Amino acid sequence: MPVATPEQYAAMLDTAKTGAFAFPAVNVSSSQTLNAALQGFAEAGSDGIIQVTTGGSDYLAGHTVKNRAGGAIAFAKYAEEVAKAYDVTVALHTDHCPKNALDDFLLPLVAASEARVAEGGLPYFQSHMWDGSAVPLPENLEIARELLPRLSAMNVVLEVEIGVVGGEEDGVSHEINDQLYTTLDDAVATVEALGLGDQGRYLTALTFGNVHGVYKPGGVSLRPELLAEIQQGLQAKYGVGEKPLDLVFHGGSGSSAEEIAEAVRNGVIKMNIDTDTQYAFTRALADYLFKNYDGVLKIDGEVGNKKQYDPRAWGKVTESAMAARVAVAAKQLGSAGKSVSA
């Protein structure tokens, strides 16, 4: 199926919320990892979200140049074409844009989509994340308020981070401390600034102890019950239905199945998957190289085995391993077998 239209993406998010499940949002940085994500979603029969960061877009553009906006557009155009061959629908998203990358990443992409829409086309991306976690909350929300109407005019969804995710991802890093927990006051400030859908749709990454990267179970203290407390507090304050915020789960590697399930019960409809799929991809490559070292290397005067060192040979292995991890995420989050194209 083609990449989701804005209307299809809205239907995906609505279905996840009413059905109490979440879509995996898989970070990619190459055509190989993009293909792996598509394969994984198709194997699970799940719609999904495929996303790129500033660093991923830099790499897509060519690692010797700095052309992240161009890399992101190249990703979107490539995805639009290859996704047609799969029987699931995927949405495209840009992940973690800090303040210092607005001018060379997010804003050029918004402008490019505005020009495309003006010509009768669809936006390149169905949602964009503004990551204001490193600036004071009032500034974070002020920038979000500037972005929301521009995105809403194209039916593009904004994602904001309210709170701090610990660890590091593509140069955005934070300490692991008590700032990892969003408060109800923070959420109220967000609603006062951005509304509850009346000013445009947005996703909210509230933090409840999340940490990017790898940590062993027990290494951080997740409090997914905090999400329920905040949702209930907003419901009571504004007199709206339950779970008024559409939530995103960042930094979930190492989380227990119950922690993930509780977060989904409390309104998470999008969960970012990056570290685990990176490891699945590279672990399969290491396994292949160790098992076929005499074929991929010219050693002891031999010539190796072209069929083994052909990048397509090991690429199929690594892509399938990453795809399997994507399919596991879809099953765990409850999106397996759910597609707007079905």
Taking the C-alpha atoms of residue 306 and residue 301, their distance in angstroms, rounded to an integer, is 15
Q: Taking every pair of C-alpha atoms in the chain, what is the biggest distance, in angstroms?
A: 77
Active-site residue among 47, 58, 95, 276? 95
* pLDDT given at position 164: 76
Q: How many CB atoms lie within 10 A of CB 265?
A: 15
Task: Give, as one character, the DSSP assignment of residue 166.
Answer: B
- Within 13 Å and on the Cβ side, how many CA atoms surround 302? 11
Q: Using alpha carbons, select from 158, 71, 74 the residue that is nearest to residue 110.
A: 158
Mean pLDDT across 238-251: 96
* pLDDT given at position 328: 98
Contact between residue 22 and residue 249 where contact means Cβ atoms under 8 Å apart: yes
Q: Using alpha carbons, select from 22, 50, 46, 23 the residue that is nearest to residue 36.
A: 50
| pLDDT tens digit sequence for 43-54 | 999 999 999 999
135-146 core/surface letters (b: 16 or more CB in 10 A; e: else): eebeebbebbee
- Quick check: is 294 catalytic? no
Helix (H, G, I), strand (E, B) or coil at 268: strand
Distances from the Cα of 243 to the Cα of 3, 10, 41, 138, angstroms: 28, 17, 27, 24
Mean pLDDT across 233-261: 94
| Element at 52 (helix H, strand E) | strand 48-52
The two beta strands, 23-27 and 268-273, are parallel
* pLDDT given at position 252: 83
| pLDDT tens digit sequence for 149-204 | 999 999 999 999 998 765 444 554 444 445 678 999 999 999 999 999 999 999 99
Beta-ladder partners of 247: 204, 268
Region label for 156, one of left (φ > 0), alpha (ψ between -120 and 50) or beta (otherwise): beta
Q: Using alpha carbons, select from 255, 256, 334, 340 the residue that is nearest to residue 24.
A: 334
Taking the C-alpha atoms of residue 314 and residue 311, their distance in angstroms, rounded to an integer, is 6
